[in-house]
């Protein structure tokens, strides 16, 4: 049977795998020859402050594995370091492309970029096909009875689960049409150094990259998913899936993870499924309210909060030297590994905004620089949740007590001591508030830079002034 297109191009972005891949599956079915491309986009990379960025290295390692996999199938991966428009223009002409296939992205900058590529394709009389791949439901697929986007999670989740129960999770197969991959040889993979970047401590901290890393973590989590609900809030326990970076870069399939949750039939899987739905809730918030991507509060009445923004307090927070061990250990974990446990993200964010009275946007930007799993929608949603400025956020008068959070979620201080070795000789009681110990001077650890009780009163007054 003749194919619709002779030569097609699959553009990989947040989907760095060659299985259960919507764009690749469609391209292979509709084309005689499918070429694959990944672009290290200069417009994105040039904006990064550090040239030792774990995300860039994670992508590079994952691209390396994807390229090797395509080579085993007698094809290859075109990898370019350029602006997206120039790179796509080159590839279209070089390989006589008749159609572009890609999976959709929902961030405002990505939508703008893709519109430019669509116009480029149109100007060359080339078809442009994009597909839903990184979410199960997108855009306007989950709406209220009034055809409006949800702003509260629970009714969104209920509608989501209803629709989920009525559908069969699709599989975008690759293998039946794998012979339609173009047989060609591309240039060797450029190095991090070629792009002006350096290797990080990714291997030292045992971050598993690529499709093989994603599979390793999925298989590991299968054995623990039943305990997820009971263990997920305790950072010293191996309780979470650690799959967030793989979801971010698509080295695992979201449909694969939903199947895992649905097939597990236990309370841990049900709780984890809830977290996957939260991820998509934040995606649809960003899609319908792109202004949050440029620093706007979801709840507009909170735009006028006059945060104190003490730069010394912010500096101490970024260095893990606030004097509150659970907060400092969380930030040190982030600085050393690019990862922060989800419970700690809430604690650290609440402390910055409602104890130190620093604008949530400062913290959002810091996380955006440091998190290896940084995702604009989830990061913004999480920070606005903590700051009470977002959709379905914690109430403005709810303020985490860092000591209470510490004793509850790291009762023996195991996590704290891992990242704050100065406190390794503290007792289980001392480690949560070492300044109260008679041995405080021996710990070589800073005293609290603020008093929680008094800062709580100031925070309540600050928020109340906006509410009135």
Which of 99, 93, 62 lies closest to 77 in space, CA to CA? Answer: 62
pTM of the model: 0.96
Written in H, E and C, the secondary structure of 205-257 is: CCCCCHHHHHHHHHHHHHCCHHHHHHHCCCCCCCCCCCCHHHHHHCCCCHHHH
Backbone angles phi, psi at 83, to 5 degrees: -75, 145
- Whole-number percent of the chain with pLDDT over 70: 100
Give the CATH fold of the 135-167+209-288 domain: 1.25.40
Does residue 154 carry a pLDDT above 70? yes
What are 310's two structure tokens? 């003490």
76/273 Cα distance (integer angstroms): 35
* CATH class of the 294-463 domain in this structure: mainly alpha
Share of the chain above pLDDT 90, in %: 94
Cβ 322 vs Cβ 448: under 8 Å = yes
pLDDT value of position 417: 98
What pLDDT score does 468 carry?
Answer: 60
Query: Phi and psi at residue 437, in whole multiples of 5°?
Result: -75, 150
Shared fold status for 5-133 and 294-463: no
Show Cβ contacts of residue 459 under 8 Å, excluding neighbours closer than 6 positions: 353, 354, 355, 357, 399
b or e along 80-116 (b: 16 or more beta carbons within 10 Å of the residue's beta carbon)? bebbbbebbbebbeebebbbbbbbbbbbbebeebbee
Mean pLDDT to the nearest integer, 131-151: 97
Give the distance from CA 228 to its chain's centroid.
19
8 A C-beta contact, residue 235 and residue 415: yes
Which pLDDT score, from 0 to 100, does residue 7 have?
Answer: 98
**What is the per-residue pLDDT across 258-288, written as a single tens digit (0 to 9) for each?**
999 999 989 999 999 999 999 999 999 999 9
- How confident is the model over 232-253, as pLDDT tens digits? 999 999 999 999 999 999 999 9
Say how far apart CA 376 and CA 294 lie, in whole Å. 11
Over residues 396-426, the pLDDT tens digits come to: 888 999 999 999 999 999 999 999 999 999 9
pLDDT band at 77 (very low <50, low <70, confident <90, very high): very high
Residue 309: CB atoms within 10 A of its CB come to: 13
The region that residue 20 occupies, defined by phi over 0 for left and psi between -120 and 50 for alpha, beta otherwise, is left
> What mean pLDDT do residues 437-454 have?
93
Q: Mean pLDDT across the chain, nearest whole number? A: 96
Look at residue 186 in the predicted model and tell me its pLDDT: 97
Residue 54 has pLDDT above 70, yes or no: yes
pLDDT at 1: 62
User: Residue ranges of the domains in the chain?
Assistant: 5-133, 135-167+209-288, 294-463
What pLDDT does residue 403 have?
97
Give CA separation, 336 vs 46, 185, 222, 243, 370, in Å. 23, 39, 27, 18, 9
Give tens-digit pLDDT for 277-321: 999 999 999 999 999 999 999 998 898 899 999 999 999 999 999
Architecture of domain 5-133: 3-Layer(aba) Sandwich (3.40)
Q: Residue 294 CB: number of other CB atoms within 10 A?
A: 7
**Over the stretch 212-222, which tens digit does the pLDDT of each residue have?**
999 999 999 99
Contact 172, 136 (CB under 8 A): no
Q: Looking at 37-46, 338-347, 391-400, 443-452, which range is the least confident one?
A: 391-400
Whole-angstrom distance, CA of residue 40 vs CA of residue 200: 18
On the question of pLDDT at 393 being above 90, the answer is no
- The confidence score (pLDDT) of residue 40 equals 98
The confidence score (pLDDT) of residue 441 equals 87
């Amino acid at each position: 049977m003749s194919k619709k297109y002779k030569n097609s191009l699959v553009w990989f972005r947040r989907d760095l795998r060659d299985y259960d891949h919507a764009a690749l599956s469609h391209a292979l079915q509709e084309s005689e020859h499918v070429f694959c491309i990944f672009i290290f986009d200069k417009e994105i990379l040039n904006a990064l402050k550090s040239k030792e960025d774990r995300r860039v290295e994670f992508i590079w390692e994952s691209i390396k594995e994807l390229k090797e996999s395509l080579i085993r199938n007698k094809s290859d991966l075109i990898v370019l370091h350029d602006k997206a428009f120039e790179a796509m223009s080159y590839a279209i002409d070089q390989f006589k492309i008749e159609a572009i296939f890609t999976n959709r992205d929902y961030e405002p900058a990505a939508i703008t970029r893709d519109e430019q590529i669509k116009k480029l394709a149109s100007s060359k009389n080339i078809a442009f096909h994009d597909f839903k791949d990184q979410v199960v439901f997108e855009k306007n697929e989950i709406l209220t009875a009034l055809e409006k986007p949800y702003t509260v999670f629970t009714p969104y989740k209920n509608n989501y689960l209803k629709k989920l129960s009525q559908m069969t999770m699709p599989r975008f197969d690759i293998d039946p049409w794998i012979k339609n991959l173009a047989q060609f040889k591309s240039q060797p993979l450029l190095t991090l150094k070629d792009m002006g970047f350096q290797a990080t401590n990714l291997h030292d901290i045992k971050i598993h990259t690529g499709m093989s890393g994603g599979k390793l973590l999925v298989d590991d989590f299968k054995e623990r998913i039943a305990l997820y609900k009971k263990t997920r809030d305790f950072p010293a326990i191996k309780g979470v899936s650690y799959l967030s970076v793989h979801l971010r870069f698509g080295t695992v399939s979201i449909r694969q993870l939903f199947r895992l949750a649905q097939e597990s039939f236990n309370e841990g899987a049900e709780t984890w499924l809830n977290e996957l739905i939260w991820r998509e809730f934040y995606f649809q918030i960003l899609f319908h309210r792109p202004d949050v991507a440029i620093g706007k509060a979801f709840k507009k009445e909170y735009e006028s909060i006059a945060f104190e923004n003490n730069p010394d307090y912010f500096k101490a927070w970024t260095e893990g030297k606030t004097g509150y061990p659970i907060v400092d250990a969380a930030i040190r974990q982030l600085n050393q590994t690019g990862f922060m446990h989800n419970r700690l993200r809430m604690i650290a964010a609440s402390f910055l905004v409602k104890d130190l009275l620093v604008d949530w946007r400062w913290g959002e930007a810091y996380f955006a620089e440091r998190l290896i799993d940084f995702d604009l929608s989830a990061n913004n949603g999480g920070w606005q949740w903590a700051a009470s400025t977002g959709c379905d956020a914690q109430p403005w008068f709810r303020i985490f007590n860092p000591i209470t959070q510490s004793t509850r979620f790291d009762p023996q201080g195991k996590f704290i001591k891992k990242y704050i070795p100065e406190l390794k000789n503290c007792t289980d009681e001392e480690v949560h508030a070492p300044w109260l110990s008679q041995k405080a001077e021996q710990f070589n650890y800073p005293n609290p830079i603020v008093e929680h009780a008094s800062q709580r009163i100031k925070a309540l007054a600050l928020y109340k002034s906006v509410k009135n």
